[in-house]
Structure 1
């Protein structure tokens, strides 16, 4: 699955819907000498996404797409990515499910970070489900995206201990702190394969 970087960095788009904390950690990572990526584009389906302000701060192009007509929108996004020579998409809290058609037609790799230890708890409300089931650990997973929800090949995972006092909110905070470390590690890992 290696993407050859040579000396050139891989042009990357980060897709977000919310606060963009993973986006921020990926931008910081992309500025490091050892980073194989350069973030060229921030894509959001939500014009109110707080993460969009990182585009302004770090001078990265932002693009908002309305997903009301998903098929048409996805065609527009694919054309736009092609025009900008994007070869890697990092989904970072992007709350739209990309169609099988989009995934197959994107000529590169798509990664996602998910707040559970996949294959457990695909989809939403992962922290609440882990607590209800009295799991000892939760965590996060970075995986390749395929046409089945949260089912692509796992790149890496990080476990987080669940304390008896944890709420879905406190667990989410602990897991998010690990996500910020895990995503860059996953990117380094796939480029060194």
Structure 2
């Protein structure tokens, strides 16, 4: 018997490469989920083209049309809730969200961040890791809470930093890992294995450590 699907709304701001990885996983049967809508805050984002090419519903809620962060988030929330998603997926959504918005989706909103959180919250993570002389860098999937890039970690993947690394080359390494681990974490949620309770992430009823589960190349569960 096939596994029941959960419904997703994916929020994007840019090219949508993580969106594409999620689309691919839903289409090839590895992710038991259905994307009900892709919502973007920029009308010219290439991710909207990816979504349209996949036959998905798209919406644009431009932050430029609102005079406050609160007003934008209220409009965004209203748009999302029309689709009644089981999970909201932030896939390169470049907006700082208000506490009220985050609380509304508590325990059912995931984000992917290009660093080994809690290291390097915010922007320019690849440059910061190189400048710090780190030997490795990576990416983290985490639940979204009111603390910026501070919600409990779910899954991390690591890459090595070479002596001649540039922010651009490091970003490419990290992006490959992003496309592997984000569909995997969403799958755990879809299977009912992943939950957030009392600001802690649980996988199969076990508390995940600060660094979350560690992704190894070839992992398929």
Relative to the length of structure 2, the TM-score reads: 0.81
SS in 2 for 1:181: helix
> Aligned match of 2:62 in 66, 71, 78?
66
SS in 2 for 1:76: helix
Distance 2:15 2:79 in 1: 23
- Residue number in structure 2 paired with 1:177: 176
> Aligned match of 2:36 in 10, 34, 40?
40
- How far residue 81 of structure 1 moved from its aligned partner, in angstroms, is 2.0
Output one character per residue of 1:39-64: Cα deviation in whole Å (capped at 9) or x when no partner: 11111111111111012101111111
- Residue number in structure 2 paired with 1:128: 127
Instruction: Write out the 4+ residue segments of structure 1 that deviate beyond 3 Å after TM superposition.
Output: none
Distance 2:179 2:104 in 1: 28
Q: Which has the higher contact order (CA 8 A, sep 6+)?
A: 1
- How far residue 9 of structure 1 moved from its aligned partner, in angstroms, is 1.4
1:129–1:107 distance in 2 versus 1, CA, 3 Å: closer
- Please give the residue correspondences for 1:1-193 in structure 2 after superposition, counting only pairs within 5 Å: 7-68=3-64, 69=66, 70-106=69-105, 109-190=108-189, 191=191, 192=193, 193=204
- Residue number in structure 2 paired with 1:3: none
Distance 2:161 2:182 in 1: 21
| Larger deviation, residues 72-81 vs 148-157 | 72-81
Q: CA RMSD in A?
A: 1.6
Output one character per residue of 1:12-36: Cα deviation in whole Å (capped at 9) or x when no partner: 0111111110000011111233423
Question: 5+ residue gaps in structure 1?
Answer: 1-5
- How far residue 7 of structure 1 moved from its aligned partner, in angstroms, is 4.4
CA contact (8 A) 1:88 1:110 kept: yes
Distance 1:162 1:44 in 2: 32
Distance 1:167 1:157 in 2: 21
Distance 1:104 1:161 in 2: 36
CA contact (8 A) 2:87 2:109 kept: yes
Distance 2:122 2:37 in 1: 25
- How far residue 112 of structure 1 moved from its aligned partner, in angstroms, is 0.4
Of Structure 1 and Structure 2, the greater helix share is in 1
- How far residue 80 of structure 1 moved from its aligned partner, in angstroms, is 2.2
CA contact (8 A) 1:142 1:157 kept: yes
Relative to the length of structure 1, the TM-score reads: 0.92
How many residue pairs are counted as aligned between the two chains? Answer: 188
CA contact (8 A) 2:106 2:145 kept: no
